[in-house]
Chains A and B, each alone.
Chain A
Amino acid sequence: MGSVTEENGVKASPETQHPRKAFGWAARDNSGVLSPFSFSRRNNGDDDVTIKILYCGICHSDLHSIKNDWTNTIYPIVPGHEIVGAVTEVGSNVRKFKVGDKVGVGCLVNSCRSCDGCKQGFENYCPRMILTYNSVDADGTMTYGGYSDMVVVNEHFVVRIPDTMPLDKCAPLLCAGITVYSPLKYFGLNEPGKHLGVVGLGGLGHVAVKFAKAFGVKVTVISSSPRKEKEAIERLGADAFMVSSNPEQMQAAMGTMDGIINTVSAVHSLMPLLFLLKTRGKMIMVGAPDKPLELPVFSLIMGGKIVAGSCIGGMQDTQEMLDFAAKHNVTADIELIGMDYVNKAMERLAKADVRYRFVIDIANTLTAA
């Protein structure tokens, strides 16, 4: 029998490399245009859960990946790592889930499970982690993500969606949610009474405001767009709002923040943000500019300040985050779209024209050709 990636010496196609038919939308080249795509999924192994996908959020990383912005895309690429669905099959070793459960899958589908990071619940920092899409899986095949009808995932990398959560609005929490929740917790910025700055009010930023308020933290939104103020304060519940290009506002807030969650993925100036921090304050980068930023070393040294990065979160944290979100009614603000709107959605996302996450209604609008 040939390997999964080859049959009779010929490279297996995405349609034939696994035994079960699957259908989704993929980009074939760096134009990033998505279109219908027939492929295949593995059989459900002993530790696996098969999930019929109901909703999938559109993350900005999906846009970067389909356009090969990070120069690591393998085409064809089926993006999507904010997956919510229903269990249709469980393997014989699976304990946590049964058929019919509502579950989620985020950015990871596997890791080595044995390094220090994995053992401590930091699967997202495992050097051998496998991403939900555009990654080489253990059997040598590419992983395909959630813009598709079904996915088969190791139980460890599946989380339960609490019963009270609306499934569509919960989908973005699987990436955006954990991406802000994890550093708020790890860096101690979830303590009531602390003052947190949130830079950028997009998919990550708006969820950061909601989680921070649920933690009892005072929140100031820092944005380049004055028109977002009403939204930030009245709808999202931020305590204050500053325009980053307004020197008076920025000056008045100097030395007032315990931490800043910086969601901005464009290159920008760190110095004015560092000045907002108290002594020993922490700025956590969760946006990933693709060019280096300028680090004003004096500002770090003179306040003993920290600039750190954070990337998604581990599986235990992800479940904890969902349970916390359910308890405190934290969901994403979404625009639900049909599968065939996805290319238009990507154009709008590139211009930040969405409040604040597109979610694809997979179950109702993804149909095989």
Chain B
Amino acid sequence: MAKLPEEEHPEKAFGWAARDSNGVLSPFKFSRRSSGPKDVNIKILYCGVCHSDLHFVKNEWGMSIYPIVPGHEIVGIVTEVGSMVQKFRVGNAVGVGCMVGGCDECEDCKRGWESYCPKTILTYSNIYHDGTVTYGGYSDRIVVEEHYVVRFPDGLPKDAGAPLLCAGITVYSPMRYYGLAEPGTHLGVVGLGGLGHLAVKFAKAFGAKVTVISTSPSKEKEAIEHLGADAFLVSRNAEQMKAAARTMDGILDTVSAKHYLLPLMELLKSHGKLVLVGAPEEPLELPAFPLLVGRKLVGGSATGGMQETQEMLDFAAKHNITADIEIIPMNYINTAMERLAKADVKYRFVIDVANTLSA
């Protein structure tokens, strides 16, 4: 008979979990493994609320294993290290993102592309090497193999830095990989939410010119005055879109709802790149002609590898890039999820785990 979550592992743990696809979270007792030789034991201080958490608790992607303890934007302090751990000591500030394991030997892992490893193990709702289900950061502690832990730079605030562990790397990685991080590049950012607002900040730090493309005219002031975007286009304004045709080297599309790609493709110069990081559930329409006559491309990107996550954090610390957040107590999480579903947050909720999660 399968063991209860509380009894699977030797060390008690406590968090909030959703039990079914209603997605309502509530207190949940479970357990964590002991630290093995390569493991790092982490007391969790903060955890960001990612839109993926919402998709998972409601089983929108059909891969949820209940009960789910979500959370993959984790910042905490090391409380114990295994005998073979080299990079961390007790007391270090560290981060954990979307992965806690992989095969470590395939081409993708060897190239630092762990997020593309076919055997990647997600931080929550996935099966670990020992056959147990992984539980995420809406909890008091987590044990993670050293390779999947990053050092959290001293200069970064731990609360506002938490969303970098998923949202940050999700926009940083494709900007670097697709060559959109060069000074003087003109980058469009579609959607101004958790991903979008960080994309603007990173792009400006790279020296790019940034145009935000949004359906909401009300976000213009925010985009330009607060986030530093150079320009703002309302996607439904045909004149604005036409005037901007063939002006962008690349576009980072963070929108996860179904939408049209053709107007975005028309904003690209020839050889321009449309990079999708938002994940609509249904296929989108791809008109072939605009791709051919400009040698344009549409590419995808999923989070990022471990080395580039560290690089991203160090870059963020150097350039003072943090997320704009709303700190919440653990017991606000269900309201936060409702508000997130309506995009009613500027721009990420972060759970103050250490101070508000109590057994």
Query: Which residues of A are in contact with B by a Cβ distance under 8 Å?
Result: 117, 122, 125, 127, 183, 186, 255, 270-271, 278-280, 282, 285-290, 292-311
Q: Which residues of B contact A270 (CB under 8 A)?
A: 286
In the bound complex, how far is the Cα of B261 from the Cα of A292, in angstroms?
10
Chain B 91-135, CB within 8 Å of chain A: the 1/0 string?
000000000000000011000010110100000000000000000
Taking a contact as CB atoms under 8 Å apart, the answer to whether B116 and A303 are in contact is yes
Closest CB in chain B relative to A266 CB, distance in Å: 11
Taking a contact as CB atoms under 8 Å apart, the answer to whether A286 and B292 are in contact is yes
Contact of A308 among B276, B289, B291 (CB under 8 A): B291
Closest to B120 in A: A302
Taking a contact as CB atoms under 8 Å apart, the answer to whether A305 and B283 are in contact is no
Chain B 282-323, CB within 8 Å of chain A: the 1/0 string?
011111111111111111111000000000000000000000
In the bound complex, how far is the Cα of B276 from the Cα of A158, in angstroms?
40
Q: Which residues of A contact B118 (CB under 8 A)?
A: 255
Known contacts: A117-B270, A301-B279. The answer to whether A285 contacts B284 by CB under 8 A is: no
Contact of B301 among A255, A301, A310 (CB under 8 A): A301
Q: Which residues of A contact B280 (CB under 8 A)?
A: 297
Say if the beta carbon of B277 comes within 8 Å of chain A: yes
Known contacts: A279-B108, A293-B286, A295-B283. The answer to whether A301 contacts B291 by CB under 8 A is: no
Q: Which residues of A contact B297 (CB under 8 A)?
A: 282, 306-309
Closest to A262 in B: B288
Say if the beta carbon of B151 comes within 8 Å of chain A: no
Contact of A292 among B116, B278, B287, B302 (CB under 8 A): B287
The 5 A-B residue pairs with the shortest CB-CB distance in the complex, in nearest-first order? A309-B291, A300-B300, A308-B297, A301-B300, A309-B292
* Interface range for B: 35 or more
Q: Which residues of B contact A301 (CB under 8 A)?
A: 276-277, 279, 300-302
Query: Which residues of B are in contact with A by a Cβ distance under 8 Å?
Result: 107-108, 113, 115-116, 118, 174, 177, 246, 261-262, 270-271, 276-280, 283-302
Closest to A300 in B: B300
In the bound complex, how far is the Cα of B271 from the Cα of A117, in angstroms?
10
Q: Which residues of A contact B270 (CB under 8 A)?
A: 117, 122, 125
Closest to B293 in A: A311
Closest to B278 in A: A297
Q: Which of B277, B294, B296 has the most CB of A within 10 A?
A: B294
Closest to B113 in A: A279
Given contacts A290-B289, A304-B174, A305-B299, 11 further A-B contacts (CB under 8 A): A122-B271, A279-B116, A285-B288, A287-B288, A292-B285, A297-B280, A300-B298, A303-B300, A304-B301, A307-B286, A310-B295
Contact of B291 among A278, A302, A307 (CB under 8 A): A307
Q: Which residues of B contact A271 (CB under 8 A)?
A: 283
Taking a contact as CB atoms under 8 Å apart, the answer to whether A302 and B302 are in contact is yes
Q: Which of A285, A296, A298, A304 has the most CB of B within 10 A?
A: A304
Closest to B276 in A: A297
Taking a contact as CB atoms under 8 Å apart, the answer to whether A306 and B288 are in contact is no
In the bound complex, how far is the Cα of B311 from the Cα of A223, in angstroms?
43
Closest CB in chain B relative to A129 CB, distance in Å: 10
Taking a contact as CB atoms under 8 Å apart, the answer to whether A288 and B286 are in contact is no
Closest to B260 in A: A292
Q: Which residues of B contact A305 (CB under 8 A)?
A: 299-300
Taking a contact as CB atoms under 8 Å apart, the answer to whether A285 and B291 are in contact is yes
Taking a contact as CB atoms under 8 Å apart, the answer to whether A306 and B116 are in contact is no
Closest to B302 in A: A301
Q: Which of B271, B279, B286 has the most CB of A within 10 A?
A: B286
